[in-house]
Each structure stands twice: as structure tokens, then as C-alpha cells.
Amino acid sequence: MIELVNLRKEYDDVLAVDDLNLSIPPGEIFGLIGPNGAGKTTTIRMACGLLAPTVGRAMVSGIDVSREPERAQQYIGYLADFFAVYEDLKVWEYLDYFAHAYNLPESEIPARISEVIAQVNLEVKRDAMIRGLSRGMKQRLGIARAIIHRPKVMLLDEPASGLDPKARLELRNLLRSLRDQGATIFISSHILTELEGFCTSLGIMERGRLVRSGSIEEVTAAATSTRLVRMSWAGDSLATAEAKLRSDPRISEVNLAAGSGTFRFSGGEEDLATVLAGLIAANIQVTSFGEVKQTVEDLYMKLSTHEVM
């Protein structure tokens, strides 16, 4: 659905994006993470046709965005980290403007406006002047604008920056519902918790280069071949537990203290189950035992070279 081929952008003496190759299939939620200045915004602006690449091409739905921008843009919904709106219009007039600008069929427009207004919970403000809306409402209106033409691809550049927690949650839910409707979502952020439990694939960008990309599982597997396991137990079994764990060649980095601790394990789920069984057989009263799932932040910290952090 989104394909970036040898994408490169130079600003004066600066190489902002360096030979980026990326393919995002339909229905995917791809999170592009990286520090400020890594080239995320430049990548998104090239993908939606706002910026011409120095070399390479960005394809959306098989259309070269640089060559046929107007045709490609019917499939793209773009949301930036700022929500500038026309203050001198009413809410429905603003959406009507963009509905016409995206060439929606005239007969569909009123119903579609009502639909998106309902989606972003602005029904009561339908006829209100935009200048009278709160910041949060303007942000919701910005989201309504981006989805008015039912885009197949959403390009979101730090969409949650400046949003309060409730608005972030609403944005998340809205994006999930868009994904359920079949949209492909490309989201960039440097706030890693924003992407937690939300993206199906990830890309890590640094100094204009894509350091790593793939599905969450692939990236996790690439990050480490071992899994971190946390356990806790009742009673005074520290020495027994430590001896038992250290005797297993698949276990490393054993780090136990009174009643709890972690270790690294290289093996599958069933192998891990045998470790637990062994501990119980050694009369250790295990109260909890499980793999510590890695957060996006953990992955990023592991994979990033932190050259600019």
C-alpha cells in the first residue's frame, strides 16, 4: 500500500533521509520511531507529496506521489503535529470545503460530514464558528478533516503531540477503528508509549537511515535471541533457586534477590515450562513466573545506536 523506493532527501549540505526502502502492506499500522531530527517528518512529507524527494520515489496504492500528486492524494489522509484550521468558518463549512477539495461526490457530502462529525464527537458544534472551539475540539476537527474522504492510507506525523490523555485515547480508538475498516496507517513519533500495543510493525530511524524495520515479532527477535523471565517465590529458597537456575545451560544473567528476580532464557515456550516444573520439583514455592514482554521503548533502547540522544 505504501512503498518507499530508494527515497533520499538532501537539504543544502544536509542528508535528511538516506536511501530509504520500505514497503508497508495494506491494513498494517507501521510506527516510525526515532529521535528528533532523525528524518521522520521529512519521510512522511515526501510520502504524502508535500516534499519532492531528491532521489527515489514514494508510491501510495501503486501511484507515484511525485508524478501524480492529485491522483495519489485521494488515497491519503495526512495529519500533522499541528492542527491549523480556518477560524472564520463554521465546523460543517470547514469539512464541506475539504470534502469538495477531495472531489467527493456532491450527493454524498452532507451525509459524510454528519458521519465524521459524529466520529469525532462534535455533533453539538456542527454550526459553531471554529474560532469559538477549544483546542481539543479543533484537534478533533483536524482529525475529521483528515478522514473526510475515507483515505486508504493515513500518514500521521506526531499526531498526539499536545493532546491531553483523554484526547490521546480518543485518537487511538479512532485510528483502531480506521484500521478495522481496512486503512493502512503510517505513524511517526518520538514518544514511544504512544505506539505501545498499537502498531503491528515498526521502523527505527536514526540520522536519516532506517536502522531496523519489520513486524513487532521480527524486530523483537532481531533485538535479542533470549527472553527475560521474572519470577517470585515464597519462603527462603534463594540459594536453591539460584543453584537450580545456574545449572541450566540455557539460562544466563541470573539476577535474584530475596523473594524475586529475573533471568534470561534461550528457548521456546515448552522449554520454559520445563524450567518452571523443575523449580517446583525442587520445592521452591513459586508464586509468579512469566516472560517480561518488551515495550517499544525497550526495543528502541536496545536497537538504537543513540548517536544523537
Partner 1 sequence: MPRFWTNPEFVRHRRAELRPVRAITVGVVIVVMCLLLGLACWSYEQNMLESAQRGLEAYATDAWRNRVQQIQENISRQTWLLFYRWLIGLQGVALTFWALFSCAQSVSGERDRKTWDFQRVTRVTPTEMLIGKLLGEPVLIYFAVLCAAPITLIAGLMGGLSLATVLSVFIFLAVTATFLGLGGMWLSTLLESRTRGVGLIAALALYGFTLGSYGMRESGLPGFAAMSPLMGIADLLGHGSMSRFGHILPVLFGHEVPWLLMNLLLCGSFSAWLALMLIRNLKRDYPEIRPLSRWQAIGCAAFLNFLIYALLNPAGMMDSLSGMNRVGWFPDARSVALFAVGINGLILFLMGLATLTPQERLKVWRRKRATGESRLFADDGLPWPWLAISAIVAYALMIWGLLAWNHTLPLEMSTLQGAAIRLLVVLVFVTRDVLFLQWCMLTRLRQPIVKGAMFLCLYYAAAAVVTGLATVSSQAAAHWMLALLTPVEVFDPDVHGIAFPAATYIGLAVQTGAIGAVLMAITSRLQRPLQSAAAA
Site residues, partner 1 (CB under 8 A): 10-18, 35, 37-39, 42, 45, 48-52, 54-55, 69-71, 73-74, 76, 78, 80, 82, 84-86, 88-90, 93, 97-98, 100-103, 145, 206-209, 307-308
Comparing CB distances to partner 1, the nearer of 156 and 251 is 156
Q: How far is the CB of 256 from partner 1 (least distance, A)?
A: 40
d(CA 158, CA 292): 28
Comparing CB distances to partner 1, the nearer of 103 and 173 is 103
How many CB atoms neighbour CB 283 within 10 A?
9
Comparing CB distances to partner 1, the nearer of 37 and 162 is 37
Comparing CB distances to partner 1, the nearer of 82 and 282 is 82
**CB 96 within 8 Å of CB 61:** no
Q: How far is the CB of 100 from partner 1 (least distance, A)?
A: 4
Closest CA to 48 of 177, 181, 184, 173: 184
Q: How far is the CB of 117 from partner 1 (least distance, A)?
A: 17
Closest CA to 113 of 74, 152, 148: 148
In the Cβ-directed half-sphere of 192, how many Cα atoms lie within 13 Å? 16
Q: Which distant-in-sequence residues (6+ apart) come within 8 Å of 259 by Cβ?
A: 232, 233, 234, 238
Q: How far is the CB of 64 from partner 1 (least distance, A)?
A: 15
Question: Strand order of the sheet with strand 209-215?
Answer: 76-79, 153-157, 184-189, 29-33, 201-206, 209-215
Comparing CB distances to partner 1, the nearer of 127 and 270 is 127
User: How far is it between the farthest Cα atoms of the chain?
Assistant: 76
Comparing CB distances to partner 1, the nearer of 36 and 274 is 36
Q: How far is the CB of 308 from partner 1 (least distance, A)?
A: 4
Q: How far is the CB of 234 from partner 1 (least distance, A)?
A: 50
Q: How far is the CB of 108 from partner 1 (least distance, A)?
A: 15
Q: How far is the CB of 212 from partner 1 (least distance, A)?
A: 17
d(CA 289, CA 291): 7
Closest CA to 293 of 237, 221, 229: 229
Comparing CB distances to partner 1, the nearer of 69 and 136 is 69
**CB 139 within 8 Å of CB 170:** no
**CB 262 within 8 Å of CB 292:** yes
Comparing CB distances to partner 1, the nearer of 8 and 264 is 8
Helices (H), 105-149: 109-119, 135-147
